Amino acid sequence: RDELRVALAAKGMARPATTEAARRLERGLGRDRIFGVLQRAAAAAILIAAGWLANGICGPVAVTKVVASTQPPAYVEEAVRAHRTTLVREAMTSQREAPNYNPGEIRAATAIVMPSLPGEWKVRDVQ
């Protein structure tokens, strides 16, 4: 390339046919460089489009929740729902407290044995 510039810079040293051939060669090399960049950009765009198309047809190729881990037991979802309900009810002033704590009734309704509470404890709310 440097030789081409030297040949094109000095007028009258080379024959006109050689100078014209050098100009054509320099333009061709410049075009090849531009086309090389465009070719790589087109290849990258085609690969991105192919990946996008494959993702659309086959769905995402990733580890799903079911494969990656076991699902939590059903009572976890129920506990979360109960906790959220408690937070909502706690914020409402219209919800009155129910201080009647009856461990026998709770056991009969839910089959949960409630522990006996110390005598100095006072129940403020039972839900």
Q: pLDDT digits over 10-51, tens only?
A: 666 667 787 788 788 888 887 878 888 899 999 999 999 998
pTM to 2 decimal places: 0.33
For residue 22, give every residue at least 6 positions away whose Cβ sits within 8 Å of its Cβ, in sequence order, or none.
Answer: 4, 7, 8, 14
Report how far residue 11's alpha carbon sits from residue 26's, in angstroms, rounded to the nearest whole number.
Answer: 16
CB of 105 within 8 A of CB of 98? no
Determine the Cα angle at 114 with ends 108 and 119, to 5°: 125
Q: pLDDT digits over 99-117, tens only?
A: 777 888 878 877 888 888 8
**What value does the CA radius of gyration of the chain take, rounded to a whole number of Å?**
40
Q: HSE-up of 3 (CA within 13 Å, CB side)?
A: 5
